[in-house]
Amino acid sequence: MSGIIGKKIGMTSFFDANGKYIPCTVIEAGPCVVTQVKTNEKDGYSALQLAFDEKKEKHTSSAMKGHFALAKTTPKRKIVEFRSFEEQKNLGDVITVELFAEGDFVDVIGTSKGKGFQGVVKRHGFSGVGHANKSHGQHDRERAPGSLGASSDPSRVMKGMRMAGRMGGDRVKMSNLEVVKIMADKNVLLIKGSVPGAKGSYVLIEK
């Protein structure tokens, strides 16, 4: 699966040729440098290691400086491996948004926005108790989870019981998003609809 590393910039919308209003996410994608080619013989699996986003030399460890020097490139911030890349690439090759074409359907992987410690209504979609009328005898526990299970028979809470806890900050993949526009001069991809993650966070775009 071919892919590229990008950075979520923000969202906007525009009218397309048919007069439809298209909401889209702006992603600065690439240019990514191939910093390592992993092969079956040497590493036990084949993959392409890509690096993206400039980084200052003084913030780079000596080990990483050497790694980037092998690919004859400057230090980069984000390094990601892509398994089974369709195109044949060599060390030091540059991958740009030209990997994609307008109208392609891609998968986008990002880290969802952290929501903190959330209750079961927000986290698992429990319906809660009627908010407006506070019915069923509830007056101050409209978002409580209710019973966790039966009584003395299991005498314990079942495994996997959905409860309150940390929400968000997960790796989320969204499939079949349309590439509506490519601005190759600025390395920009416009993808229809929203994409997981906060502005400025890294995303992976896979074809």
Closer by beta carbon to another protein, 19 or else 44: 19
Closer by beta carbon to another protein, 13 or else 175: 13
Could you give the CA distance from residue 189 to residue 195 in angstroms, rounded to a whole number?
A: 12
CB 135, min distance to another protein, A: 36
The site for another protein (CB under 8 A) is made up of 9-10, 12-15, 19, 21, 26, 28, 181, 183, 186, 188, 190, 199
DSSP string, 99-138: GS-TT-EEEEEEEPPP-EEE-HHHHH----S-TTT--TT-
CB 194, min distance to another protein, A: 15
Closer by beta carbon to another protein, 24 or else 129: 24
- Contact present, 44 and 25 (Cβ < 8 Å): no
∠ CA 64-68-73, rounded to 5°: 145
CB 82, min distance to another protein, A: 24
Closer by beta carbon to another protein, 113 or else 143: 113
Closer by beta carbon to another protein, 19 or else 160: 19
CB 199, min distance to another protein, A: 8
CB 15, min distance to another protein, A: 6
